Structure 1
């Protein structure tokens, strides 16, 4: 097993909009990074980063939500540059269906792994418009939670049946948003928490999103708050990776070019 980061770009926001107590003068580059999990039973991508049609995906957002962005290389291009054998890939496991997590599906002809609650959310929410576009033609791989609690979260799904990749239902940000827990044979552990928090301060300082951003971005503020408390209690045991916190990916290697 191994874990790699595939950074596809960033977009700019200010800390004051990202978490309570953040400064207006503190500009943050929000990461748009996918993660490749290699496993003997087949590999998975966690989220898809920015795609080739990123300009259209940004323009599909409300005007107030369009932030300046920079792109690097799409996940698809990075896989090709590394000489990666795509036949190993089982699909793209989404933490949730917002545009900045699914944009790269426009170049990835892979099954989309998504639970039913998140699929319903994406089909009906305004925030699901990009997903509705980029998911066309993709096989949808439904997975469901078996009801077993995992590290304080009420429901989970063990992807490989060996405890190495466990998806826990977090909810709150979107109806079916998830956390992906990865444990390597070295005992190194990761928690890819999606947008439970946009920045690590959400976990390390229990600094939730500011009031207005919670109202606009979250489906259930209380559920997000509960998830942050659970992750704060686990932070000493694993590397917590909010999807948009650039520094949280430190130590995760890049997929080396061929």
Structure 2
């Protein structure tokens, strides 16, 4: 098994809008990234980052949520540059369906899309699912359910390979089908890819929720976000917790490079 960080760009926001108690003077570069989880039984991409048509996707958003952004290489471009065969990919697993996690689906067609029924229903009707509905057209949907019982303090889970290495739990507060993906490497740290449970690691380390107004605008169930945030705070120190948009939380996860080349971080 192995993990790789595939950064596709960033967009800018103020810390005061990201985490309760943040400063308006503190600008944060929000990551738009994917993570490749390599496993002998099939690889998975967690999220898809920015796509080739990200500029058009951003124009589909309400004007008040658009932000300055920087674009890097798409996931597909990085896979191609590394000589990675997409035949090895079992699917793209979204932590949730918001645009900055789904945009890169525009260039990954032919790979199955893994999504649970609650998130499919949410994405089909919610205004924030507009980009997802565009870029997911034509995808083979792999619907999974949480039938493997409790995991850590979460009441239900899905063990992807049946060996405990990749386990998905439902954390349905930010969106109705949001998930957290736990990855355990055979000889290394454990990781928790928590999507948008909190936008920045401050939410874990300072036990700080989103600002009240942002929570009301962004979260389907703020109370559930609070309960799941408490669960993850209790696990801090036992594993690497990676909020999807905290760029620094990806430090130490190697980039994807051609086989035989030196690894970059």
TM-score after normalising by structure 2: 0.96
User: Does residue 186 of structure 2 align to residue 185 of structure 1?
Assistant: yes
Q: How far apart, in 2, do the equivalents of 1:84 and 1:174 lie?
A: 32
Is the 1:172–1:222 Cα contact (8 Å) retained in structure 2?
A: yes
Is the 2:84–2:258 Cα contact (8 Å) retained in structure 1?
A: no
Q: How far apart, in 2, do the equivalents of 1:235 and 1:85 lie?
A: 35
Q: Which ranges of structure 2 fall in alignment gaps of 5 or more residues?
A: 260-265
**2:66 match:** 66
Residue deviations 1:122-168 (CA, integer Å, cap 9, x gap)? 00000000010000011010000016111111110000000000000
Is the 1:78–1:257 Cα contact (8 Å) retained in structure 2?
A: no
Mapping for residues 103-142 of structure 1, pairs under 5 Å: 103-109=103-109, 110-142=111-143
**2:4 match:** 4
Structure 1 runs of 4+ aligned residues shifted over 2 Å read none
**2:239 match:** 238
**2:52 match:** 52
**Alpha-carbon distance, 1:36 to partner:** 0.1
**1:101 match:** 101
Q: Which ranges of structure 1 fall in alignment gaps of 5 or more residues?
A: none
User: Does residue 174 of structure 2 align to residue 169 of structure 1?
Assistant: no
CA RMSD of aligned residues (A): 0.8
**Alpha-carbon distance, 1:93 to partner:** 0.4
User: Does residue 39 of structure 2 align to residue 34 of structure 1?
Assistant: no
User: Does residue 72 of structure 2 align to residue 75 of structure 1?
Assistant: no
**Alpha-carbon distance, 1:187 to partner:** 4.1
Mapping for residues 147-162 of structure 1, pairs under 5 Å: 148-162=149-163
| Count of aligned positions | 258
**Alpha-carbon distance, 1:85 to partner:** 1.4
Q: How far apart, in 1, do the equivalents of 2:151 and 2:244 lie?
A: 20
